[in-house]
Amino acid sequence: MRILEWMLVLVSLAIALFMWVAPRNRTSTIGSLMALVLAVLLHGLIDHFRVQMLTTYIVASLLFIVGIVRYVKLSRRGGYVRDTHLNMNKQIPRYRSWKKAALASIPVLALSAGTIVLTSYFPAFTMPEPTGSYAIGTFSQQLTDDSREETKSAEVGDKRELMINVWYPVDQDTAKGMPVDHYPAELGEAISLVFGIPPMVFSYLDTIPTHVVQGAEVSAAQSKYPVLLFSPGVRSARFQSMTAIEELVSHGYIVVGIDHPYTSALVTFPDGHAVSYEADPEFATSAELYEYNIKGVGVRAEDASFVLDTLTQWNSHDPKGLLEGKLDLDRVGIFGHSYGGATTTEALAQDDRFKAGLSLEGGFWGTVSTTAMKQPFMYIMSGGTAKSLDPNATSKDKVFYPEFEPDLDRVMTSSLNDTYYLTVDGFFHQSFTDISLISPQLFAKGMTPEHNVDITRSYTLAFFDRYLKGEEEQPLLEGPSARFPEATYDTKYTKLRGNQAK
């Protein structure tokens, strides 16, 4: 809980107790009301209201009503409560017993405990600091691919539209003092879709500061920077892995996050119109679903190539004047989570401009499953899903599908370049996002949330540093790490082939 959240809880408890044991006079009553109102206003204006504090808001509202009613009665009686125990008409202060006060405080304590529980499950977290030397700038942009029609739009002739965010390196001195961005509201919608939790639970996320600023110039420390595209999972958003994005940018990458309409959670465009996630139809067999996913991932792979086309144009002439000449298009990589991981591998298979790729537990739908991959490739799998590959497993993870294992085997064994296959014990499918920070008790799975996100961002950085920057010394890619004992390389699929593709 934040400091002002604790203050509101404690002030509410103190006032509840005070109202039972203190003299009933107008001075103490108005003082209590003023303290309560001040605590609520400070919390609301600085921390912002959130649903996790609902039980404390109920307590504060009841106390306010009781205080107003008491003040009105006292005003009518001249300032004090008449003592009915003494059969006298003079006005004197009356004290309630501590026993009655304790009993009356039980429901207040219970409601306050509810706040503590809710805020512990969904804390107002602080994002881990990026470890690189750069600050982080960003801008968002709508893109329209006039060469492709939107197949899922109700309007005939609609063109394929995307929303992207570009995150880029900024000098620390330039960013100093600039207001930072906060987590966008779209992330709450995505988490709600994935886990079936009401979106209002995550409405506070847009009060969480990131390390990103708007409107800053690209750092001139390097003449140009390697580029990474990021594709999120189904029902998710381009902001789902901000810890990894911030880490990469802080080490000198330009990262472009893509929202893919109809498979991303909620894509909102600058003119206000929005495209919501469209659920897959029901299929009688896994083979039918497999064919459907080939088409869906194909569309997203084309999205990635179109974004790269756009970046190529911007590198020659950027309408914003930010990226012109700053994009190193000879060093372009792509990574993604789940369906975004499948997008990554298919983009690698279809577009040689992508020089390296990393999949965070994605599938293999499309061209990639029938051709030899030429680029360096890393696959990271959660321990939870890995258990589904055991033939003796009594239950299968919900993201597992029958065709996955033969596709994985073909891709990893037929590759012409270096491949890495890493399994992380204690991870489940959504552990590759920032969900462990958002609810450590539900999603950190036996490790601190900071350690959870550090695994993904550290291995991602090490992989691209080796294959896009040419920095060969990467201990995390060499084998077991004392820093991350839960991460294990599979020797069958982890192969250094000496870049046979060349």
Please provide the DSSP assignment of 89-123 as one string. Answer: -SB------HHHHHHHHHHHHHHHHHHHHHHHHS-
**Distance of alpha carbon 242 from alpha carbon 433, whole angstroms:** 8
Query: Is residue 88 pLDDT above 50, yes or no?
Result: no
Alpha carbons within 13 A on the beta-carbon side of 209: 10
Parallel, antiparallel or unpaired: strands 274-276 and 266-268: antiparallel
Query: Is residue 91 pLDDT above 60, yes or no?
Result: no
Parallel, antiparallel or unpaired: strands 377-382 and 356-360: parallel
331 strand-pairing partners: none
Chain centroid offset of residue 232 CA? 11
Mean pLDDT of 223-241: 96
| Helix or strand run (H / E) with residue 330 | strand 327-337
Of 77-86, 241-250, 380-389, the one with minimum mean pLDDT is 77-86
Of 18-22, 96-100, 122-126, 353-357, the one with minimum mean pLDDT is 96-100
pLDDT greater at residue 200 or residue 312: 312
Residues shown for the chain: 502
The reported pLDDT for the residue numbered 26 is: 82
Query: Is residue 162 pLDDT above 60, yes or no?
Result: yes
| Structural contact between residues 80 and 92, judged by C-beta atoms closer than 8 angstroms | yes
Cβ contacts of residue 336 below 8 Å, gap of 6+? Answer: 230, 231, 232, 233, 342, 343, 344, 359, 360, 362
Cβ contacts of residue 306 below 8 Å, gap of 6+? Answer: 143, 145, 148, 160, 162
Of 89-93, 228-232, 371-375, the one with minimum mean pLDDT is 89-93
> What are the pLDDT digits (tens) for 365-407?
999 999 999 999 999 999 988 887 877 766 666 677 888 999 9
Mean pLDDT of 300-313: 98
Closest CA to 360 of 463, 440, 274: 463
Cβ contacts of residue 470 below 8 Å, gap of 6+? Answer: none
Tell me, what DSSP letter sits at residue 322?
S
Q: Does domain 135-489 have CATH number 3.40.50.1820?
A: yes
Closest CA to 341 of 388, 394, 382, 312: 382
274 strand-pairing partners: 268
> What are the pLDDT digits (tens) for 335-350?
999 999 999 999 999 9
Query: Is residue 310 pLDDT above 70, yes or no?
Result: yes
Chain centroid offset of residue 472 CA? 30
The reported pLDDT for the residue numbered 371 is: 95
422 strand-pairing partners: 380, 489
Query: Is residue 318 pLDDT above 80, yes or no?
Result: yes
CA torsion sign for 421, 424, 427, 432 is negative
Mean pLDDT, rounded, of the chain:
89
Q: Which two tokens stand for residue 109?
A: 């304590």
User: 340 to each of 164, 323, 382, 386, how far by Cα in Å?
Assistant: 14, 25, 15, 18
**Distance of alpha carbon 383 from alpha carbon 357, whole angstroms:** 21
Q: Please give the model's pTM, rounded to 2 decimal places.
A: 0.86
Q: What percent of the chain clears pLDDT 70, i.e. is strictly above it?
A: 92
CA angle (234 as vertex; 394, 135 as ends), nearest 5: 115
> What are the pLDDT digits (tens) for 97-141?
556 666 666 777 777 787 888 788 888 899 999 999 999 999 999
The reported pLDDT for the residue numbered 198 is: 87
